[in-house]
Amino acid sequence: MQIDVLSLFPNMFEPLRESMIGKAIERELLNFDVVDYRSYSHDKHHHVDDTPYGGGAGMLLKPEPLFEAMDGVNERHPGPKRVILMDPAGKKFNHQAARELSQEDHLVFICGHYEGYDERIRTLVTDEYSLGDYVLTGGELPAMVMIDAIVRLLPGVLGNDESAHTDSFENGLLEYPQYTRPPEYRGMKVPEVLQNGNHQLIARWRQKESLRRTYLRRPDLLKTITLDQTAQKLLREVKQKKLLRRQKQD
């Protein structure tokens, strides 16, 4: 995969070259380039922003630097690509989007600053994404979050590809609780079922705990997936147990 980032602060992306993403670059699973689009400004002071027509607060990013930066990306890497604009008004990024984008050969992230973008910049873009209903000082942090979520899904990036398939949200549910040694610590014990070696019982426990965690923490997710009969039965058990606990408290 090729990833290009257009940013006014390229040094912010250096930490991405560490850990798993750094290893992906070393293994040539990922090519990662950051372009400072200020270098495409023709202003002697290298300005990339200007006041909005019609008045208003703040400054807008000018179209020329970003258009010419994209021209440079297209010259270096001809061919189709997804161009992603980081914008608070974009659709909310989630695991499904990360999975979809991880199938692409080339992604370009445009990171803005100031009050916003000249509207013509959006003609460069195929997708607009946001991390949530809040505003940050720039698009760099959201882009880094997205890149991390996407790259870890590339085959060969994680030490064990199975890890990506058991993540929270991979099957629409939150991930089940996990434990490692020691079997008991400060009075807290690892569930016996995980230590008995019965893989069928372990799988059932994990599915039930995944349903329980989703039901208690993110019940909205259950409305977006179709559960098989086994999962429906386990979910009924979870709900019944919660109801009984509530009745005891009353």
Strands 49-50 and 60-61: antiparallel
Q: Any idea which residues carry the catalytic annotation?
A: 88, 115, 152, 167
**What residue type is assigned to position 98 of the chain?**
A
Residues within the annotated binding site for S-adenosyl-L-methionine?
Answer: 112, 131-136
**What residue type is assigned to position 225 of the chain?**
I
Residue 62's contacts (CB-CB under 8 Å, 6 or more residues apart) are: 41, 47, 48, 49, 50, 118
Residue 109's contacts (CB-CB under 8 Å, 6 or more residues apart) are: 3, 4, 5, 6, 7, 84, 86, 139, 143, 146, 147
Q: Which residues of 108-135 are buried (b: 16+ CB within 10 A; e: fewer)?
A: bbbbbbeebbbeebeebbebbbbbeeee
The Cα–Cα gap between 206 and 231 comes to 11
Please tell me whether the peptide bond between 63 and the residue prior to it is cis, using omega within 30 degrees of 0.
Answer: no
Select from 104, 37, 34, 102 the least CA-distant residue to 69.
Answer: 37
